Chain A
């Protein structure tokens, strides 16, 4: 069975510092995609970053980057220069791959950025 695990229910970081959120997953597929979504207090689910499993290069979007370790089935999110607006719940997700676009989500990590 495919699973996504986020072992950090809550994290806190000081403004301008760097924080890393952990995610591990399990799948028997070779072709799959990994995502990080952000859910601020407004409740809107916002895509932060996306990684194709067949690409070795780690994805980067401005202050957000991932450390994708395929053999270890690890997909962590690094937020640099944290800002107050980064305060949100962060969900790691994986699609089932192949001819489907179903997503399976982790339980989320609540990140609080402190001033």
Chain B
């Protein structure tokens, strides 16, 4: 399996622009997670999906952030409008099922820079 795939790997944009990050989970995984990593706050869970349905979005910082999962093999995280404080590395991860110990497999991340 190719693992979790994220695109783009790097994104540089200007404040106010819309940014869309993409993720393809491992085939057969029922859960998909979006994380944000910054120096100040470390790794934070933003939202996660189960069978394409958002389960917990309590980590989404504000209304400028939205996430969708239209099918089992694709998810997007959108920021509109983007701000410099959104600069971070965004990770997507996926796992098999409901059990608490199911390992999450991470993608390579997208480094977002908002100027």
- Give the B-binding residues of A (Cβ under 8 A): 31-33, 35, 37, 42-47, 50, 52, 91, 95-108
Check if B109 sits within 8 Å of A101, measured CB to CB.
Answer: no
- The prevalent SS among residues of B at the interface is strand
**Once bound together, how far apart are the Cα atoms of A76 and B48, in whole Å?**
28
Which residue of the partner chain, among B31, B43, B89, B106, contacts A101 with CB atoms under 8 Å? Answer: B31
| Known A102-B48, A105-B42; contact A97-B100, beta-carbon cutoff 8 A | yes
- Minimum CB–CB distance for A69 against chain B, Å: 19
Give the nearest-CB partner of A94 in chain B. Answer: B100
Q: Is the CB of B45 within 8 A of A102?
A: yes
Residue in B closest to A33 when the chains form the complex, CB atoms = B101
User: Is B103 positioned at the interface, with any CB of A under 8 Å from its CB?
Assistant: yes
| Chain B window 62-96, contacts with chain A (Cβ cutoff 8 Å), 1 for yes, 0 for no | 00000000000000000000000000010101010
Encoded as 1 (CB less than 8 Å from any A CB) or 0, chain B from 26 to 62 comes to 0000010100000000110100100000001000000
Closest A residue, CB atoms, query B89: A43
B100 engages A42 (CB within 8 Å): no
Cβ contact within 8 Å between A45 and B91? yes
Given contacts A43-B108, A50-B103, A105-B43, 18 further A-B contacts (CB under 8 A): A31-B100, A32-B100, A35-B103, A37-B106, A43-B89, A43-B109, A45-B91, A47-B104, A47-B105, A50-B101, A95-B101, A96-B100, A98-B100, A102-B48, A103-B33, A103-B45, A105-B42, A107-B42
